[in-house]
Structure 1
Amino acid sequence: MTGSSRQPPWRLFTSIAAVGAVAFSAILLTACASEALPPVPSVAPLSEAQSEALAVSILEEKGDRILSLYPGAALPTPDRVRFVTQSEIAHVKADCVTEQGFPAAPNDEGGITYSPVPPDEQAEAQTLAAYACDVMYPLDPRFTRPYTEAELRYIYANLKLTVIPCIEQAGSSSPSLPSEHVFIEGWENGRHWNPYGDSGSLTMEEASEIHELCPMVPAELQRQ
């Protein structure tokens, strides 16, 4: 057609998002008709001892990072008030650091934003205040528990059969999927394979759309 041009990927993201769950499911079934996801792995909940050990380990890592930045700093050791959920942590932490003298509010990325931003000479004090809030209101360990190998195999299969076709149907592209062994080994060592490729040509809003449309971790494995 005269004067026609290929739609930019971000316009396709919006169009596909509007199709709805029924049409999207049909796309994925067509793309993966010859294969199916394995059963969702069943994982036992953490015991109280396992939860406590994981919570302590996470705090120790945070403390070590702070001490590497501020050698000799005295890490605060307040009592734990309670574990918090993923959905409330930003609000709880914002209230906590505000009470410590560093006004903050939750932001759209799930973290907090300081307003005003503390000056450089208060950076250590602000960091220690945030750490104190982590001690008092740590994220419930069920949200930070590492994925088991069975769960990682399921995530890999979902990437292959669902996420990558979704990204491609959205008009974008994904890098070559590594082998299952390489994927799992990388994940267990903190090197998460990125299915979204180079999103540098997209705006933050456009990149957010495709991440929401094609989530890397399926809902059935999201930490609840």
Structure 2
Amino acid sequence: MSGFTTVRSLGRGALLAVASTVLVLNLGACSAPASDPAPSPSGHGAPEASWADQQWERAVQSAPDLTDGERPDVVEVRTIEPSEVGRVMTECLHAAGFLDVELTPDGEGYTTSAANAAEAKALAVAQYACWVQYPIDPKYTKPLTDDQVKALFAYFAGPLSDCLREQGYVPSTPPSEASFVEAYSSGNAWNPLNEVLASLSQQGEILALSQACPSVPEGLYG
């Protein structure tokens, strides 16, 4: 496929840090859905930009010649669950005139394409507007508490690693909980699912494993 192709997906198990929802951005090639973005690191730091500002930054990354004067005024309609992203964004972008937008095979993400830079720019603005109209519930995007990080480690080292073995993969040896917590705050924590997914090249394999082994434990976000 020529032109610009983007795949956006949160995937099964749904995750935060949707400021990082652009999982794959390829120029001149079609792309397969990638793994879930990692949960937001815990800890203190500089105040995060608003959801709308984060999405505008993403739009400018997609279309660098966008100016702040081209940023539309958008009113929030409602918050959505990560599992709704594919359907809601597809419907929103169709309503904006981008009828080539399609759901990813798992139904939780969406693909877009643009024939040229001008179309890519218009699409970036439309995606910005849709994301601001339908933001992810903030409970999925805020940093995890220390207890949540420890619960995530227990899941990675236990049920998730067991699931990977059942699917025929060999997860790497987990670090200590203390090492995981320390690394997590910097965004470099051990993640056995992401390690395995990074070794796969076939869309079918990636999708099957993502569906079989949820990336986060049920109830992590309350």
Please give the range of the TM-score, normalised by the shorter of the 2 chains: 0.5 to 0.7
Correspondence for 1:59 among 52, 56, 69: 52
* CA shift in 2, pair 1:164/1:58, >3 Å: same
Contact 1:95 1:105 in 2 (8 A): no
Max radius of gyration: which structure? 1
Contact 2:200 2:206 in 1 (8 A): no
1:13 aligned residue: none
* CA shift in 2, pair 1:112/1:160, >3 Å: closer
The TM-score, its normalising length taken from structure 1, stands at 0.63
Q: Give the gaps of 5 or more residues in structure 1.
A: 1-52
2:111 aligned residue: 113
Q: Given the alignment of the two structures, is residue 138 of structure 1 paired with residue 135 of structure 2, yes or no?
A: yes
Contact 1:76 1:132 in 2 (8 A): yes
How far apart are residue 159 of structure 1 and its match? 2.0
1:70 aligned residue: 65
Counterpart mapping for 1:29-40 below 5 A: none
- How many angstroms apart in 1 are the aligned matches of 2:65 and 2:141? 26
1:15 aligned residue: none
Contact 2:51 2:135 in 1 (8 A): no
2:209 aligned residue: 210
How far apart are residue 153 of structure 1 and its match? 0.5
Q: Letter of the aligned partner of 1:70 in structure 2?
A: D
Tell me the SS of whatever aligns to 1:113. strand
Tell me the SS of whatever aligns to 2:111. strand
Greater percentage in strand: 2
* CA shift in 2, pair 1:101/1:209, >3 Å: closer
Contact 1:77 1:135 in 2 (8 A): no
Counting matched residue pairs gives 168
* CA shift in 2, pair 1:151/1:178, >3 Å: same
RMSD: 2.7
How far apart are residue 201 of structure 1 and its match? 5.2
2:156 aligned residue: 159
- How many angstroms apart in 2 are the aligned matches of 1:70 and 1:182? 42
* CA shift in 2, pair 1:179/1:89, >3 Å: same
Counterpart mapping for 1:1-224 below 5 A: 57-68=50-61, 69-73=64-68, 74-103=70-99, 104-109=101-106, 110-114=108-112, 117-120=113-116, 121-196=118-193, 197-199=195-197, 200=199, 203-221=202-220, 223=221
- How many angstroms apart in 1 are the aligned matches of 2:54 and 2:159? 34
